């Protein structure tokens, strides 16, 4: 099958006079199952609908939005695979210079708040054509939400965008149900019955058996009300247990229906077997292609959902906590197609999902009664009902290693180390170390301080230490020199300077200096973001310490990289402020010396990673030149 039509000429070539749906996307057009736009469009196509794609339209020109004409049923709008604000700005609110989802990595090809801009432009042109929002940006902004970039509570995106409907979650069920409803002649304003959808109305009685959230005007003025509202939303994200939610906005009511059930194995298999081209549209070739495809082109999506439920992650709001997985045959068929692609080098980069080593629901109860509202599967300790089993994943990986032309199968999406260490059968653990690590395994303890881990919803430091010890023991038994790279987060709610220093001391003790540190990024739809904004824990309404000033955040970040010369004065200030001058000195337990590093050291530290890479590259090239010259000399000698 060819790519979806992107011009009216291509529509005509198919013998069509009008499209049923036109998809407006903030990403470039990549027809690969790792891209939500491709999945929704191919799902509609498989249901018999005519779909066209307008990728990254110029939002200042009406003509770009009109080039495929008015669709018969609706416009579909998404900012793309990533929220447009996260795509554009770092946690320091600085403009990013590159966009991996745009041709050649060029930035600036989509607007801020892309869903709102695109939808309002469409409404300006097409007064009555239905507009439906979907994807991560709309999904996490479906009700009132704290917006980090504006530093205020914003309205539901449904009201700011002039759209008619928001579909939240993964969307395959909902989009077909909405298409069938529109196709049968039901007006868009009457489509109020689809699970996984949000609509607006002036008549709240249309919502059956609903929970009324605090009024938007209250939520804006009162942080405690915001926390209360968020926690109600947080407890209603499961397809089985969730209720309908209503939020009042002056004359409007925004109604969120319960989530759509997660796709089961046969449905997932069907979605991933659709006619994807598995690459970007050839129109981008002259601009250097789309960088985002490189990381996922030779990766396999194995599952959806995550019962790990970290508080700083929005997966519970988007995919849900119930894990479902594709069948082995479906994944193997995709792998067997993959190996015949011309640029396949023998390496499958990943076999995973939100959490790679989850291949089933946490417990059988979740399948019939839903997830627990006030209990987590892995936090603060493992639930007694949790089924810990890696046998299915282990068998899948064994089969993939045996696929002809496959040299190596890596696992790069997150391994949940606590789930792994709870498994008494170490078959998978040993298999992971022997076959699926490329020298370094990335894991995410995030922190070591008990008070921070509690706010993150992460297991205790002791669990991580147990995993680390066993990881190195297994590698030693296998005679492999492989390492762990821990992901760490600074400035999460609950983290004060004492906690940041505790983390620095831990890094000192294990002899690790992280090359990168992730500052906590408050994005819509997470419990941690609600804590950041309100300085309350919505679960208990207890006060939470939140580092907010750029200077304190810089100090916490510097403590994690305390050895870097350019961080010296920030670390010095933090230690003095926290009353920890015992860590300034010449003893081995000290973090910094009493005397600051020289200017040369600072400059070298500032360059650090780039310089090391450049030196290594120069040395490598020099060696290559020497080897080449010797080879040429040897050839000449033989000829002589």
Chain segment 290-328, per-residue pLDDT in tens: 999 998 999 999 999 999 989 999 988 889 999 999 999
> What DSSP element (H or E) covers 518?
strand 518-519
Beta bridge partners of 89: 95
- pLDDT score at 640: 35
Distance CA 287, CA 103 (A): 6
Report the SS3 class of residue 21: strand
pLDDT class of 625 with cuts at 50, 70, 90: low
> What DSSP element (H or E) covers 13?
helix 8-13
> What DSSP element (H or E) covers 398?
helix 391-401
Per the model's pLDDT, the better-predicted residue between 23 and 630 turns out to be: 23
Beta bridge partners of 152: 147
- pLDDT score at 627: 47
**Phi first, then psi: what are they for 280, rounded to 5°?**
-85, 160
* One-letter-per-residue 3-state SS of 120-180: HHHHHHCCCCCEEECCHHHHCCCCCEEECCCCEEECCHHHHHCCCEEECCCCHHHHHHHHH
Contact yes or no for 487/524 (Cβ under 8 A): no
Residue % of the chain over a pLDDT of 70:
93
pLDDT class of 612 with cuts at 50, 70, 90: very low
Chain segment 390-406, per-residue pLDDT in tens: 999 999 999 999 999 99
Report DSSP letters for 220-271, one per residue: HH-HHHHHHHHHHHHTS--TTTPPEEEEEETTEEEEEPPPPPPPPHHHHHHH
- Report DSSP state, residue 206: G
Answer whether residue 437 shows pLDDT above 90: yes
- 208-218 burial string, b = 16+ CB within 10 Å, else e? eebeebbbbee
Tell me the average pLDDT across 468-478. Answer: 97
Tell me the average pLDDT across 468-473. Answer: 97
Distance CA 376, CA 169 (A): 20
Give the CA distances from residue 217 to residues 79, 220, 249, 531, in Å, rounded to whole numbers and listed in that order.
Answer: 27, 5, 7, 20
pTM of the model: 0.90
Distance CA 496, CA 552 (A): 9
Chain segment 235-287, per-residue pLDDT in tens: 999 999 999 999 999 999 999 999 999 999 999 999 999 999 999 999 999 99
Number of neighbours of residue 304 by Cβ within 10 angstroms: 21
Distance CA 474, CA 467 (A): 11
**Average pLDDT in the chain:** 93
State the helix-helix crossing angle for 265-272 and 36-46, rounded to 10 degrees.
100
Tell me the average pLDDT across 542-569. Answer: 96
Residue ranges and CATH numbers for the domains of the chain are 8-197 (3.40.50.2300), 298-438 (3.30.750.210), 439-597 (3.30.750.200)
């Amino acid at each position: 099958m060819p790519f979806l039509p992107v011009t009216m000429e291509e529509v005509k070539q198919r013998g069509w006079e009008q499209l049923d749906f036109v998809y407006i996307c903030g990403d470039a057009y990549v027809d690969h199952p790792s891209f939500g736009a491709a999945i929704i469009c191919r799902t509609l196509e498989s249901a018999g609908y005519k779909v066209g794609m307008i990728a990254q339209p110029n939002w200042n020109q009406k003509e770009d939005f009109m080039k495929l004409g008015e669709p018969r049923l609706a416009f579909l709008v998404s900012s793309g695979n990533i929220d447009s604000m996260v795509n554009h700005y770092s946690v320091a609110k600085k403009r990013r210079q590159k966009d991996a989802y745009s041709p050649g990595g060029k930035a600036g090809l989509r607007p801020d708040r892309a869903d709102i801009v695109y939808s309002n432009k469409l409404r300006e042109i097409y007064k009555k054509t239905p507009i439906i929002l979907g994807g991560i940006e709309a999904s996490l902004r479906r009700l009132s939400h704290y917006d980090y970039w504006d530093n205020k509570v914003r309205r539901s995106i449904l009201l700011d965008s002039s759209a008619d409907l928001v579909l939240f979650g993964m969307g395959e069920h909902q989009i077909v149900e909405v298409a069938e409803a529109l196709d049968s002649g039901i007006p868009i304003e009457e489509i109020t019955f689809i699970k996984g959808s949000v609509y607006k109305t002036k008549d709240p009685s249309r919502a059956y058996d609903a929970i009324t959230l605090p009024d938007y005007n209250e939520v804006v003025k009162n942080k405690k009300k915001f926390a209360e509202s968020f926690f109600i939303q947080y407890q209603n994200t499961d397809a089985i247990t969730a209720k309908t939610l209503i939020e009042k906005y002056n004359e409007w009511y925004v109604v969120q229906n319960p989530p759509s059930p997660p796709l089961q194995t046969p449905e997932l298999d069907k979605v991933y077997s659709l006619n994807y081209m598995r690459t970007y549209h050839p129109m981008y070739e002259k601009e250097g292609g789309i960088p985002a495809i490189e990381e996922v082109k030779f990766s396999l999506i194995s599952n959806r959902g995550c019962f790990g439920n970290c508080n700083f992650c929005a997966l519970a709001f988007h995919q849900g906590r119930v894990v479902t997985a594709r069948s082995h045959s479906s994944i193997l068929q995709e792998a067997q197609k993959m190996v015949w692609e011309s640029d396949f080098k023998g390496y499958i980069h990943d076999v995973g999902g939100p959490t790679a080593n989850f291949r089933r629901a946490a417990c059988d109860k979740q399948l019939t009664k839903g997830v627990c509202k006030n209990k987590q599967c892995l936090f603060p300790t493992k639930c007694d009902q949790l089924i810990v089993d890696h046998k299915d994943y282990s068998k899948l990986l064994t089969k993939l290693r045996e696929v002809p032309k496959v040299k190596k199968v890596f696992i790069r999406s997150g391994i949940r180390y606590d789930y792994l260490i709870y498994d008494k059968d170490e078959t998978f653990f040993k298999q992971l170390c022997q076959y699926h690590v490329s020298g370094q395994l990335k894991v995410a303890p995030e922190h070591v301080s008990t008070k921070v881990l509690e706010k993150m919803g992460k297991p205790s430091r002791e669990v991580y230490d147990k995993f680390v010890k066993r990881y190195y023991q297994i590698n030693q038994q296998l005679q492999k020199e492989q390492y762990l790279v821990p992901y760490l987060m600074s400035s999460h709610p609950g983290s004060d300077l004492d906690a940041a220093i505790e983390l620095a001391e831990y890094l000192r003790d294990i002899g690790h200096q992280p090359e990168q540190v992730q500052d906590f990024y408050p994005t819509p739809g997470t419990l941690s973001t609600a804590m950041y904004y309100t300085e309350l824990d919505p679960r208990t309404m207890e006060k939470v310490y939140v580092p907010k000033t750029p200077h304190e955040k810089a100090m916490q970040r510097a403590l994690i990289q305390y050895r870097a010369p350019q961080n010296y004065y920030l670390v010095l200030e933090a230690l003095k402020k926290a009353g920890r001058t015992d860590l300034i000195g010449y003893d081995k337990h000290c973090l910094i010396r009493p005397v600051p590093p020289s200017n040369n050291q600072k400059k070298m530290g500032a360059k650090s990673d780039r310089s090391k890479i450049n030196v290594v590259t120069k040395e490598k090239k020099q060696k290559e030149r020497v080897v080449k010259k010797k080879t040429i000399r040897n050839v000449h000698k033989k000829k002589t």
